[in-house]
Structure 1
Amino acid sequence: MKISYNWLKDFIDIDLSVEQTANLLTNSGLEVENVEFYESIKGGLKGLIVGEVIEKKKHPNADKLSLTKVDIGNGTMLSIVCGAPNVDAGQKVIVATVGTTLHPVSGEPFTIKKSKIRGEISEGMICAEDEIGVGYSHDGIIVLPQDTPAGMPAADIFKVYTDYVLEIGLTPNRADAMSHWGVSRDLKAVIHHKLNTDLTLQLPDTTSFKTDNNDFVIDIEVENQEACPRYCGLTITGVQVKESPQWLKNRLQAIGVRPINNIVDATNYVLHELGQPLHAFDADKIAGKKVIVKTVKEGTSFVTLDGIERKLSSKDLMICDAEKPMTIAGVFGGLNSGVSENTVNIFLESAYFNPVWIRKTAKRHGLSTDASFRFERGIDPNITVYALKRAALLIQEIAGGKVSMDIKDTHPSPFPAFKVAFSPRRAQQLIGKTIEENTMESILSDLEIKIEKQNECWNLEVPPYRVDVQREADVVEEILRIYGFNEIETPEKFAFTPGLHDKFDKNKIENTISDLLSSNGFMQIMNNSLTNRKYYDYVDNQYIVKILNPISSELSIMRQNLLFGALESISANLKRQKKNLKFYAFG
């Protein structure tokens, strides 16, 4: 999961370096596997400046080339050979000086060198859009407004957005941390304990939300309340579907999400901001102005957003209108119900679906989406209305429109907290170290766990978004995460009974081989014993050991050799610019 450092600071006012932040998160159980510097334009336009073409004349040895004199400010004049048909004297242009590395839209980066082109010296390059990554046009060079000063950095014109992206290796149990808001909650707790600084979390303000009219009301009916405990919705009329503003595209692109249009981007933004998946329907395509949450007959045909016709199971929860299914609930949208460039009115959905239902449906159809990834692990059932208001206000800001029905909520009362009995004394025995009770209390309070003390027993109320904290041992783990596993000292002595091994010692042989290979520059790798079925397409099914309930389609069978795991390790390292690779593995 990718987390934007800039986005994180919207929730928590931290004055830490990105490295410090990454270390704090890793020590609290949210392991930061990689920190990447992000630029909205690759290379950040470094070395590119504004120049003025002072002189242009025909190249004596080439019909399609021109010789130019370009002033790049401070009286510096460059001789540049240019092949663009639209270059002319008096123009303000983008110049790549000698030594500048360009990152074109397609192809590999290249560095500008002083060279001779058909016998004439060229001390730079006058650039087109695609050559510097700001567009796709190659019809000619970029021509800037006349009042643009020579010598001005190109980065100041195109407003390069920079950020740091933290890639977190999220464990399946941490559904609460699958958003910037969730990560900021953990960061606040660990900063309070480790740095003794009590920061305040800041959620986006939704107090300005209001219903403008009730001109477009969609009825909501939930037939299967086990699969859908909560469903909320509203309509917004008069929206204008268009490209999203640059700030929104920058945020999404930084974490690897492709912008589509302002409505879809707004729902994706709230998903990654708060962890609540949303879906926007074209309200005019909802037959009977009614949304029904139900299952359909076994074998019903349904075409999903990717254009594939799928046969539905009677156990697939569907979002339907009065006539037909519209989406696979919590998993994937339908081809004919979503927002398009012609959409004017939308119905916005925010729901809490049963994780088991969503997980089984996603596995059944071999689908994995940002929404199903969260729903199948369990989201916060109490945030649905807030997220709906947040998304509605964001859509109104970037697409216009009026909220044209009151929010309908099928479960308006809050979902109860989990009750856990906790003994500080028993926790200390499990931890193996005495941690002061006031420290435990402070950590639990920072994690939004309410405490009611009754003698030596604490009755805890755990927020419903913490689906992984159901037992006393889970609470102990939470305390340890924030307190720090590294703060628990390793005992100086271990009691054990040595044994005599006269038989063949497999471990000793492996260790001897490992020592030999490692001393010669090899690194040992240990890969998952589960692997992807596609690696063994050449093997008959009778020889394949399949997993009945695989975690994902990429881990659906038992491996038959070590080759493909090793190749995956090589691929992962090459993607991170690690090229001198020598691996070995046992299996």
Structure 2
Amino acid sequence: MKISYNWLKEFIQTDKTPQEISVILTGTGLEVESLEKVQAVPGGLEGLVIGYVKERTQHPNADRLSITKVDVGTGTDLQIVCGAANVAAGQKVVVATVGTTVHPTSGEPFAINKSKIRGEVSEGMICAEDEIGLGTSHEGIMVLPEDAVVGTPAKEYFNLNDDYMYEIGLTPNRADATSHLGTARDIAAFLKTTVVKPDVSAFAVDNNSRVIDVVVENEQASPRYAGLTISGIEVKQSPQWLKERLAVIGVRSINNIVDVTNYVLHELGQPLHAFDADAITGGKVIVKNCPEGTLFKTLDDTERKLSADDLMICNTEAPMCIAGVFGGKDSGVSEKTTSIFLESAYFNSVSVRKTAKRHGLKTDASFRFERGTDPDMPVFALKRAAMLIKEVAGGSISSDIIDLYPNPVQAPVVELPYAKVDRLIGQQIPHEEIKAIVTGLEMQIVNETAEGLTLSIPPYRVDVTRDVDVVEDILRIYGYNNIHIPTQIRASLNTSQRPEKDTVQNLLSDLLTANGFNEILSNSLTKSAYSEDLDSAVKILNPLSSDLDIMRQTMLFSGLEAIAYNQNRQAADLKFYEFGKVYSIKEDKYIESQRFAIFITGDASPAQWNQKAKASTFYNIKSLVDGILKKLNVTDAILTDSDTKELAYGLNYTRNNKTLVTVGKVAAPALKKAGVDKEVFYADINFDQLMTIAKKNKIVYQEISKFPAVKRDLSMLVDKAVTFDQLKRIAQRTEKKLLQQVDIFDVYEGDKLPAGKKSYALSFVLQDAEKTLTDKAIDSVMQKIMYNLEKEAGAEIRK
């Protein structure tokens, strides 16, 4: 949420600097994520001055250009070539002098240089409003009133003031702070001052010439609905002060009517909506639910199907607005509008939230209604907006305020024992200080005793319903830093990194044990006959035997020896895992690393009365490795063919050019060395590297999507060198949001295919977490995937 420093100061009288206010806001629970100096007009009109056109003559070499002599208050007139048709002698204008950088409303900034235009020297530029960011019109140069003083900086003339913008990370519970007024309340409570609200005492109804009836059929979804009409308005651009105020907080100016509603929304936190009164068929506004499937076109020109649960603002014939969420295309304010019906309501937060989510709409209005607005604000905001509209658009208030509020929201009452305040805060706060804080937060003291207070909570504080909520408010205003730390602290501090290695090891052990694996523990000493590189082996100076003369360089042979031992004792179907260390020496430096080894041999599942035994395959161990990596949220490993001599074939999982896992079928020479005569599948995981990744990873849990997944299949011809992993990564790069899974379900190589080719059949699972995918969206994604597969992998898609 964005808050303007200058705007805040209209609510509170303070000489605190923007930086000091930032500290106060963060301390009171409204965390300031950033504070930046902003200018309502890009460039701040720096280098622009007020000039006087002393004379204007026709350019000798161009029919549409003029040569002017302009006084800018320096004592030396400037010759400026101007192309505007409305330039004339005697005008007061805005001049960009040589060296000035001009920031247009649209387009890139550009510098003003002394130059020749069609042979005549030009020493500056006489500016139109869109050329300096003050508007969108390019019909001619800006002509200022005669009282404009020559030489005055444009920044000073247009009364531009630098401002500061706070970006506040608003927590969902602080619905009361979604405006400048709400933010100012916290500052005022901290500074023990009062909030100055806008004065609406001058509000008056001019006549009753345009009365629009209002009927609320769904009072539960719309507990309060207020409105009035304003006639004889002129829809046009907003005055500069209003544009600048909205620009500081990043709101684009649309027109004077819409800008006022946005202004009041950000000022008071009350969403408003202006209807073209002439579009209200039958002269009646009906707040109701429409039948299921009713079509409605919103302001973004999108036709939507309404749910029977959507609260709508309707006329006697059709819906005009999705209540609290989004306006309609046909009832909004346009340049032709002369009369409006101004709505200010208090809608049910649950109803608005469900509707906004159902239609995938997020607006400034729904943001506030979803969290809960102030039920006492609609009429005050209505008066404020009506007065502003009369100021910027003219017209008259042509009806009394209609305020339908059959069941007023009752202010919650909370009992606050002093003893509980002291116990929860851990320090006694003077009772007078507590009373000052709750009063500053506009909580009314209904009753006071020696033991505590009875408080009436303002209805806009939807997050304060219990005594502990009030204690939290007291603490954040009193100041967390003012709570003294005791001289003696009794605590057990654990500074180990998370996740701990032992925790992850136990997690993986439990996973494998639950899948029928047994853990083995073997000696780190082994025989040099197993080594493929004795130069890097760590040798034992005084070995007990030739079978224990080096430190192991791989976990492979420790596991193979265990397998040979068990197979020799009629245990053929084996699943082992081991955590251990391997050792090597490089450039006279000893290297010790933790490894995690997995072994599978024999049958994956034994014979049963209803099925035959199934032999273990490479895919059994690969799926296990994939599951381990997924368990630790390692999803971006790259698969390549392994060329290690220890494996007959296999894969390497690499990440950041480092091998994380090697998995495959053990080669026959290695099996022979260990005396194993059956196939063994082996995975070697670099546990140290795995832990490094796990400590950086943050596992985020999310709700399972309520919307169905869609599966699409593609069959294609590719070169034999192309791997499934390459195709998978191309697809994942193409669609990161909707593509949930890519699988291969068929591979064919044979003489029926062209030489050097193979056939792959892939399945793609698409799913959106927020809505049901349409055929159009699915086809669009698949077309992109097919295009990139053809382009990057040379795939030939089989239709």
Matched-pair identity in %? 54
Cα 1:118–1:354 change in 2 (3 A) is closer
TM-score in terms of structure 2 length: 0.58
Which stretch of the first structure deviates more once superposed, 376-385 or 488-497? 488-497
Deviation per CA, 1:193-240: give whole Å up to 9, x if none: xxxxxx332222222333333333322222211111111222223333
| 1:350-365 correspondence to structure 2 within 5 Å | 350-365=344-359
Indicate the residue corresponding to 1:466 in structure 2.
461
Q: CA deviation at 1:247?
A: 2.1
| 1:79-94 correspondence to structure 2 within 5 Å | 84=83, 94=94
| 1:153-552 correspondence to structure 2 within 5 Å | 153-192=153-192, 199-411=193-405, 414-451=408-445, 452-491=447-486, 492-496=488-492, 504=502, 535-540=736-741
Cα distance in structure 2, aligned partners of 1:420 and 1:484: 22
Code of the residue aligned with 1:495 in structure 2: it is: A
Code of the residue aligned with 2:477 in structure 1: it is: I
Code of the residue aligned with 1:309 in structure 2: it is: E
Q: SS of the residue aligned with 1:14?
A: coil
Cα distance in structure 2, aligned partners of 1:299 and 1:76: 72
Cα 1:421–1:42 change in 2 (3 A) is same
Cα 1:150–1:234 change in 2 (3 A) is closer
Are 1:47 and 2:41 matched, yes or no?
A: no
Cα distance in structure 1, aligned partners of 2:479 and 2:460: 23
Q: CA deviation at 1:10?
A: 2.0
Q: SS of the residue aligned with 1:536?
A: coil
- 2:232/2:395 contact within 8 Å kept: yes
Code of the residue aligned with 1:306 in structure 2: it is: D
- 1:62/1:118 contact within 8 Å kept: no
Code of the residue aligned with 2:491 in structure 1: it is: A
- 1:418/1:463 contact within 8 Å kept: yes
| 1:125-164 correspondence to structure 2 within 5 Å | 125-129=124-128, 130-135=130-135, 151-164=151-164
Cα distance in structure 2, aligned partners of 1:69 and 1:526: 67
Cα 1:96–1:402 change in 2 (3 A) is closer
- 2:174/2:463 contact within 8 Å kept: yes
Q: SS of the residue aligned with 2:371?
A: coil
- 1:305/1:335 contact within 8 Å kept: yes
Q: SS of the residue aligned with 2:433?
A: helix
Q: SS of the residue aligned with 1:343?
A: coil
Deviation per CA, 1:332-355: give whole Å up to 9, x if none: 111112222222332221111110
Q: CA deviation at 1:293?
A: 1.3
Cα distance in structure 1, aligned partners of 2:199 and 2:165: 25
Code of the residue aligned with 1:245 in structure 2: it is: P
TM-score in terms of structure 1 length: 0.78
Code of the residue aligned with 2:441 in structure 1: it is: L
Cα 1:132–1:237 change in 2 (3 A) is closer
Cα 1:459–1:300 change in 2 (3 A) is same
Deviation per CA, 1:532-570: give whole Å up to 9, x if none: x97423445986787689xxxxxxxxxxxxxxxxxxxxx
Indicate the residue corresponding to 2:4 in structure 1.
4
Q: CA deviation at 1:261?
A: 2.4
Q: CA deviation at 1:329?
A: 0.7
Q: CA deviation at 1:445?
A: 1.1
Indicate the residue corresponding to 1:558 in structure 2.
none
Could you tell me which runs of 5 or more consecutive residues in structure 1 were left unpaired when the two chains were aligned.
Answer: 193-198, 514-523, 550-587
- 1:128/1:138 contact within 8 Å kept: no
Are 1:23 and 2:224 matched, yes or no?
A: no
Q: SS of the residue aligned with 1:376?
A: helix
Could you tell me which runs of 5 or more consecutive residues in structure 2 were left unpaired when the two chains were aligned.
Answer: 506-593, 595-631, 633-655, 657-695, 706-734, 743-763, 772-799
Cα 1:263–1:137 change in 2 (3 A) is closer
- 1:81/1:120 contact within 8 Å kept: no
Q: CA deviation at 1:388?
A: 1.6
Code of the residue aligned with 1:17 in structure 2: it is: T
Deviation per CA, 1:108-149: give whole Å up to 9, x if none: 3345567x7699998953344354334556788767788866
Cα distance in structure 1, aligned partners of 2:424 and 2:765: 44
Are 1:13 and 2:13 matched, yes or no?
A: yes
Cα 1:28–1:396 change in 2 (3 A) is same
Cα 1:95–1:363 change in 2 (3 A) is same
Q: SS of the residue aligned with 2:352?
A: helix
- 1:65/1:81 contact within 8 Å kept: no
Tell me the C-alpha RMSD between the 2 structures: 4.0
Q: SS of the residue aligned with 2:227?
A: strand
Cα distance in structure 2, aligned partners of 1:213 and 1:118: 59
Code of the residue aligned with 2:283 in structure 1: it is: K
Code of the residue aligned with 1:475 in structure 2: it is: V
- 1:126/1:141 contact within 8 Å kept: no
Cα distance in structure 1, aligned partners of 2:494 and 2:23: 39
- 1:54/1:89 contact within 8 Å kept: yes
Q: CA deviation at 1:456?
A: 2.1
Q: CA deviation at 1:175?
A: 0.8
Higher relative contact order (CA 8 A, sep 6+): 1
Which stretch of the first structure deviates more once superposed, 94-103 or 387-396? 94-103
Cα distance in structure 2, aligned partners of 1:144 and 1:209: 33
Rg larger for: 2
More strand by share: 2
Cα distance in structure 1, aligned partners of 2:484 and 2:293: 59
Q: CA deviation at 1:14?
A: 1.8
Cα distance in structure 1, aligned partners of 2:57 and 2:398: 63
Cα 1:82–1:525 change in 2 (3 A) is farther
Q: CA deviation at 1:467?
A: 0.2
